[in-house]
Amino acid sequence: MRKRLLLDLCCGAGGASVGYARAGFEVVGVDLVPQPHYPFAFHLADALTFPLDGFDVVHASPPCQAYSACQHFLKRPEQYPAFLPEMRERLQQWGGPWIVENVVGAPMPGAVLLCGTMFGLNVLRHRLFESSHLLFAPARCWHRGKTQKYGGPYVCVAGEMFRLSDACQAMGIDWMTAKELSQALPPAYTEWLGRQLLEVC
């Protein structure tokens, strides 16, 4: 039996993609920016126009700057439009199983929240996942307090203010640069979600 084919839109360097591959999918990535460290088949293209035909599942991580708590640090916030509604509408019209990921604060009713501590990771990276299908989190968050750049119980992986070796270990990622890592999803998140999607697609 062939592997289900998953398209990762706005794939970045492949944190989400690796999780889906571990769950059992064949993965193809699309991004508007070259991704030299992306570990699977890759297309340099616009995620809002790339053809969806032939894929069994689509994951999308549209830019989050419009909703991020750090948006007030942006010099020109108008450069970061909110693509989330447009992406959601496109996937709904496509009709297959899909997941859209974004930051806490994004308008995603019914989304499931995942955190690194749910998977035994020493990183606090809360992300929302909205889907065409009902998804479940593995547990509740187990952390107390906030992240610290260095020396704390949880690694802060934001911007480039962290030790790369610590952040790689915390995220479960060992193939990215510091900048790529700062924008990545831990593969454990999408491995968990991917196993749920394989039951319905």
| Rg of the chain (C-alpha set) | 16
The rounded percent of the chain whose pLDDT value lies above 70 is 81
Q: Does the predicted TM-score (pTM) go above 0.85?
A: yes
Contacts of 172 (CB under 8 A, 6+ apart): 121, 186, 187, 188
Instruction: Supply the pLDDT for residue 69.
Output: 47
Query: How far is residue 4's CA from residue 147's CA, in Å, rounded to a whole number?
Result: 37
Could you report the per-residue pLDDT of 8-46, keeping only the tens digit for each?
Answer: 999 999 999 999 999 999 999 999 999 999 999 999 999
| Domain ranges for the chain | 5-198
- pLDDT of the residue at 136: 96
Least confident segment among 53-62, 72-81, 143-152, 175-184: 72-81
Task: Label residue 77 by pLDDT band (50, 70, 90).
Answer: very low
CA distances from 18 to 15, 26, 37, 150, 190 (A): 6, 10, 12, 27, 8
pLDDT tens, 108-161?
989 999 999 899 888 888 899 999 999 999 988 877 655 554 455 566 665 445
* Structure confidence at residue 74 as a pLDDT band (50, 70, 90): very low
Neighbours of 22 (CB within 10 A): 16
Judged by phi (left if over 0) then psi (alpha if -120 to 50, else beta), residue 158 lies in beta
- Domain 5-198 architecture: 3-Layer(aba) Sandwich (3.40)
